[in-house]
Amino acid sequence: MRRRLAEYEFTIPESVLEDPFLAYRWYDLMRDARDLYVKSVQEGVPKEDARFILPQAVRTKIVVTMNLRELKHFLGLRACERAQWEIREVAWKMLEEIAKNEELRPIIKWAKLGPRCIQLGYCPEGELMPPGCWKRTRERWKGLLSAVRED
C-alpha cells in the first residue's frame, strides 16, 4: 500500500501509513481536494483562489538561493532533530547534495555545515533533545565527511 500511495502528488506521513484504513481515508480526502481544485480551475476560478482547497500535504518543488552564511544558519536550525521531520529531511538532503560535489565537499567540514550541535560542539537544546540525538547526529554528519578527502 505504501508504494501505491507514494506515487501521488501529495505526501502522507509514515505515521499515518502505518494504519492502512487511515491512510486510505487520507488518500481519498486528498484525491477529492485535488479533483475539486482541477474542476474549479476548469470552471474559471483563478488558480490562486482555487489553491485554497488544497491540503498542506500537496508536494511542492522549490528553488532557493542562499549564501554560505544563510545556508549555515538554515542547516543549523533545520537539520536538528527538533526540527519538523519534513524540513529536516530537506536540510539533510541539501547536505548530501553538497557532499556529492567534489569541489564543494570540503566546505562541509570547513564551515561546519550541519545542525547547531555540529557547529557549536555541544547541543544548545539541552534537555529538550531526545535521548541519543547527539550521538546519532554526529555519526550522520561524520558519514557525510567520510566522502571528504583530506588534502
- Looking at the annotation, which residues are catalytic? 78
Give yes or no for a contact between 48 and 42, defined as CB atoms under 8 angstroms apart.
Answer: no
- What span, in angstroms and rounded, lies between the C-alpha atoms of 70 and 61? 20
Amino acid at residue number 128: L
- What span, in angstroms and rounded, lies between the C-alpha atoms of 54 and 103? 40
How many CA within 13 A on the CB side of residue 45? 14
